[in-house]
Amino acid sequence: MRAVRALLVALGVGCGLWGVWLMRDFTREQLTSEAFWLAGGVILHDAVLAPVVVAIGYGASRVLPAHFRSGSATAFLVWGTLTVAFLPVLSGQGGKPGNETILGKPYVLSWVVLTMVLVAYAVVSSVWRRRQTRSRDMKTLHGSGS
């Protein structure tokens, strides 16, 4: 396990150094912009996103049946990440007037389809987990080795 962690740390440091190397020709304005977005992302994550996710997770753990929690937590985590990634195109930002190829895809439809896939995943994993639990309970109830 230590070797895997060491490899992941080395890979992370290497990627970070590569990113810094790629920024070597940036202007002062570009570096300032990068610093702003980096700080803004950390602040947004720590002050808004993380507390909201913890609150939703806590609330869901109180409301959802046990067999539904794991699949829904996974689906919600992936959905939140995808939604954050989709925000610029869902809001229409990033396009350029006169260039229809920049935002020429059905991003809202893609986001809705991905959302539905994740809802289906949560439901299917819930049903599967419930069946596994019932099967295990039935084996215990009737004695599995006799």
**What are the mean pLDDT values of the chain's consecutive 10-residue runs (146 residues total)?**
95 95 93 90 85 86 86 88 83 69 79 94 90 77 62
In a domain, 48, yes or no: yes
CA 62 to chain centre: 22
When divided into structural domains, the chain yields a total of 1
In a domain, 5, yes or no: no
In a domain, 28, yes or no: no
For residue 96, the model assigns a pLDDT of 67
In a domain, 63, yes or no: yes
- Containing domain of residue 137, as a range? 36-142
For residue 3, the model assigns a pLDDT of 94
In a domain, 3, yes or no: no
Q: Which two tokens mark 124?
A: 């299917």
> What's the pTM?
0.61
In a domain, 9, yes or no: no
In a domain, 6, yes or no: no
In a domain, 16, yes or no: no
DSSP string, 70-97: HHHHHHHHHHHHHHHHHHHHHTTTT-BT
